[in-house]
Amino acid sequence: MDPISVAVRRNGTVEAVHRVHAVAVAEGLILESAGDPTLFTYTRSSSKPLQALPLVRERPDLDNRALAIAAASHVATAEQIEAVLHLLAAAPADAEELECGLQEGRPQQRLYHNCSGKHAGMLALCRAKLWSAPGYRLEAHACQQAMLAEHSEAAELPREEIVTAVDGCGAITFALPLNRIARAFSRLETLEGGRRVADAMPAHPELIGGPGGSDVRLMRGLSGWVSKNGAEGLACAAGPGGIGIALKSEDGAQRPLAPALAVFLGRLGLDGSRLADNPIVNSLGETVGELRAL
């Protein structure tokens, strides 16, 4: 089946079309797909629920707010920054120990980086395991080797078949086939500590990202679902009954993810209507177009 095509329309005229590959997996079998289910891609921030697993196992005392922000790509709201500080205090660690760098357009402190929650979680893991914290983001560090092991276990893929690279925040990201990414999400709740992560994220969707993200909208719209997007147009989700979903836009755009996910959920017999309405709004607050699957 062809990829899902998402059209950008302005006053009824199509001015762009995005192609989105998608796959749904349960019990290791592909339930539905669009485009190439074996497309090889980096997980980027979609890895964060998996990257939180070693922390959950080492720190059973952490509350849902701490676990949610560890799996977040936040937009630096006051509530989100407070949650990062909450996790740092629990680690314990100082904001100066974060190795996630700075981001343009945000306060020039590492605390405000959208991955600071993940990095705070990695610092907490280092404290719990008695690992030296400096360099925790580097591939050779035990922390990143633990993250590689989590992806290998979750995706049921040998480590040597997972390609690594440096992510935007300086930590390691992992490349594997789209169906294996979906497989990893389908197994999230069955992995040790996964149930706690799967509970924490939808309990605090406001911490996971911006309110317009398809991951946040999905968790607010479908009970029992956990979802996390990644850079370059990746969307992942896990639902009741051990179903895992992964979508990837060919051009790396984020904006077609919600309408593509709405269509793909519908093919699975699920209600994706909350993701179908995606207006284009100009700087005056006027609705001037829409994104919708063809």
Q: Domain holding 266: CATH number?
A: 3.40.710.10
* Class of residue 128 by CB neighbours under 10 A (exposed 0-12, middle 13-18, buried 19+): middle
The pLDDT score that the predictor gives to residue 20 is 98
Residue 240, preceding bond cis, omega within 30 degrees? Answer: no
| Closest listed residue to residue 49, CA positions, set 133, 117, 105, 104 | 117
- The pTM of the full predicted model, rounded to 2 decimals, is 0.96
The answer to whether residue 11 sits within a structural domain is: yes
Q: Is the pLDDT of residue 190 over 90?
A: yes
Residue-wise pLDDT for 43-101, tens only, equals: 999 999 999 999 999 999 999 999 999 999 999 999 999 999 999 999 999 999 999 99
pLDDT above 90 (res 189): yes
Reported as a single tens digit per residue, the pLDDT across 215-268 is 999 999 999 999 999 999 999 999 999 999 999 999 999 999 999 999 999 999
Residue that is written with structure tokens 């949610």 in the block: 68
User: How many domains does the chain contain in total?
Assistant: 1
- Per the structure, the complete domain to which residue 249 belongs is given by 4-61+149-293
Where does the chain show beta strands of DSSP type E?
Answer: 4-10, 13-26, 29-34, 40-42, 163-166, 172-177, 226-230, 234-239, 243-249, 279-281, 287-293
- Provide the mean pLDDT of the chain: 97
Whether the CA torsion 74, 249, 3, 189 is positive or negative: it is negative
Q: What value does the mean pLDDT take over residues 37-43?
A: 98
Is the distance from CB of 76 to CB of 206 less than 8 angstroms?
Answer: no
Q: Is 76 domain-assigned?
A: no
pLDDT at residue 1 is higher than 90: no
Specify if 121 maps to a domain: no
Q: Does 24 reside within a domain?
A: yes
Quote the CA–CA distance of 255 and 106 in Å, as a whole number.
22
Count of Cβ atoms closer than 10 Å to residue 286 Cβ: 9
